Amino acid sequence: MRRGTNLPRVGGFNQRVVLDRIRRATDGVSRVELAADTGLSLQTISNIVARLLARRLVVEGERKVEGRGKPRTMLHLDPQGAHALGVHVDPVVVTAVLTDLDGGVVGRRIFPTPSGPDALVAAVAESARELVDEADIAPGGVLGLGVAAPGPIDMPSGRVINPPLLDGWADVPLRDELAGATGLAVLLEKDVSAAMVAELWRGNRMHEGTSLFFYLGFGVAAAVAHDGELAAGTSRNAGEIGHLIVDSDGPRCGCGNRGCIGVCASPATLVAEAVERGILDVATPRATPRELDAALTAVCRAAAAGDESAGEVLRTSARRVAHGITLVADLVDADVVVFGGPSWARLAPVYLPAVRAELAAHATLREMHAVEVLGSAVGDDVGAVGAASLVLDDAFAPRPSELIGRSGAVLP
C-alpha cells in the first residue's frame, strides 16, 4: 500500500477501468464497445462516462456508423483534463517535467544538481512554479508532484536514506520538504520504479506478461512488472541488483567482491578502463559525477568514431551486463526487457546487440518464449516522466490488486 499521499482519485475500480480503456484506444472507443470490452452493463458505462465527461477527463469525438445500428459517438481521453509534475533527482542533473493526462511532456526544466537537499528543494519548487505558470493551468489543475530519487527510500516516512554520490543526503525527509515548499501532494519513489511506471503508462507493450526495466546511470537497478503492475517489494525498494556478480575476474567492487554488475556498468569503471588504455586523461579517483559523466560521453563518442580500444571497453562491459540480465530475465521469466536511465542512450549502440545475442544464446527459457529487448519508449526523460506517471497512475490506473483485501477477500 502507498502511504503518505492524499492525491485526488478518480473514483472506484470500474471508473478507472473505463478511463484506462479509453486512454488506450488510439482511435477512440464507443460506449457499446466499452460495455463489450469491460463486461459492465451499458447503463453502468453511460453513468461512468457521464462522470468522466463532467470532469473533462474525456471528450466526445466523431460519430461513427457501423452496420445498420445507430451512429456511435466515439470517446477520447482529454489530455488537458489533468496535469502532473515529475522530478528526477540524479547525481549530475535534476530534470523536472509537467505532463498532461496522457503522460505527454508539456514543459521541461533541466539543471545541474544543486549541492545539498535544501538547495535542491528550493530549486525544484521554483521550477515547478515556472512550469505551471508557463502552461497556464488553472489552480487545482495539477494533481501532484512525483519525485524519482536514488534508493533506498523509507516509504512510510518519505525519507531518502543514503544515496551514493549525493553529498549531504543522509536521511532526508524529501517528500515532506517538497510538499511544504510546493503546497502539492508529493509521491516519492525509487528512480528505477518510477521509470518502469513511465514505461507502463506511456508504452503499449507491457500490459500482459512479465516485464523487466534496467536502469543504467551511476548505479544499476532493475524493476519488475507483471500484467502491467509494478512489483515493488515489501518496502517498495525491490530491484537492487548492483552486487550481482557477472564476472568473477571483473573489476573490484566497493563491496569487496569482483565483477558485480553495478561496478561493471558504472561510468567510473568505464572511464577508468579508458584512462588505462590511454584513450582519455581524467583523474578518475577525484573526478566528480559531472566530470565522469562527460568522460563517459567521450568514451562512447570515441567508440562510435571507430576507436577500437574504446569499443572494446564498452563491449566488455556490455558482455558482463548482458550475462547478468540473462540471469535476471530467467529468474522472473520475463518476455520484455526495457533499458533506460541517464547512461542508456550513449551505451545503447553497443549494449542492445550484446544483450539480444546473450539472451538468444544463453537464456534457459529461450525454448519457451522469445524475450524482446527494447530501449525506453519514453527516452531520456524517463525518470522525470516516470515521476509524473506515479501521480497519474495513483489517480487513474485500475489495479487488480486493490480489489483484494488483506484477508484475500475480493472487495465489492
Kindly list the residues in this chain that would bind Zn ion in the complex (CB under 5 A).
243, 253, 255, 257, 260
**Which residue, 97 or 268, is less far from Zn ion as judged by CB?**
268
Dihedral angle sign, alpha carbons of residues 374, 377, 382, 388: negative
**Which residue, 149 or 260, is less far from Zn ion as judged by CB?**
260
Q: How far is the CB of 245 from Zn ion (least distance, A)?
A: 7
Q: How far is the CB of 372 from Zn ion (least distance, A)?
A: 29
Q: How far is the CB of 260 from Zn ion (least distance, A)?
A: 3
Helices and strands in the chain: count of H runs, count of E runs: 12, 14
- The beta strand positions in 175-247, using DSSP E, are 186-190, 210-216, 220-226, 229-230
Residue 94 CB burial class (10 angstroms; 0-12, 13-18, ≥19)? buried
**Which residue, 250 or 386, is less far from Zn ion as judged by CB?**
250
**Which residue, 244 or 385, is less far from Zn ion as judged by CB?**
244
Query: How far apart are alpha carbons 160 and 168 in whole angstroms?
Result: 11
Cβ neighbours for 182, distance < 8 A, ≥ 6 positions apart: 85, 124, 125, 128, 129, 145
Q: How far is the CB of 319 from Zn ion (least distance, A)?
A: 18
Q: How far is the CB of 408 from Zn ion (least distance, A)?
A: 38
Dihedral angle sign, alpha carbons of residues 49, 53, 59, 61: positive
Q: How far is the CB of 252 from Zn ion (least distance, A)?
A: 9
**Which residue, 61 or 164, is less far from Zn ion as judged by CB?**
164
Q: How far is the CB of 22 from Zn ion (least distance, A)?
A: 46
Cβ neighbours for 285, distance < 8 A, ≥ 6 positions apart: none
The answer to whether 267 and 164 have CB atoms below 8 angstroms apart is no
**Which residue, 261 or 303, is less far from Zn ion as judged by CB?**
261
Question: Cα angle vertex 351, ends 208, 281, to 5°?
Answer: 145
**Which residue, 226 or 258, is less far from Zn ion as judged by CB?**
258
Q: How far is the CB of 292 from Zn ion (least distance, A)?
A: 18
Phi-psi bin for 330: left (phi > 0), alpha (psi -120 to 50), beta? alpha
Q: How far is the CB of 271 from Zn ion (least distance, A)?
A: 18
- β-pairing verdict for 72-77 and 58-64: antiparallel
Q: How far is the CB of 230 from Zn ion (least distance, A)?
A: 25
Q: How far is the CB of 249 from Zn ion (least distance, A)?
A: 14
Query: How far apart are alpha carbons 239 and 266 in whole angstroms?
Result: 16
Phi, psi (deg, nearest 5) at residue 100: -85, -175
Dihedral angle sign, alpha carbons of residues 93, 123, 391, 134: negative
**Which residue, 147 or 246, is less far from Zn ion as judged by CB?**
246
**Which residue, 189 or 247, is less far from Zn ion as judged by CB?**
247
**Which residue, 217 or 398, is less far from Zn ion as judged by CB?**
217
- β-pairing verdict for 159-160 and 153-154: antiparallel
For the chain, the distance separating the N- and C-terminal CA atoms, rounded to the nearest angstrom, is 18
Phi, psi (deg, nearest 5) at residue 70: -65, 150
> Residue 165: how many CB atoms within 10 A of its CB?
17
By C-alpha distance, which of 221, 240, 196, 216 is closest to 345? 216
**Which residue, 204 or 257, is less far from Zn ion as judged by CB?**
257
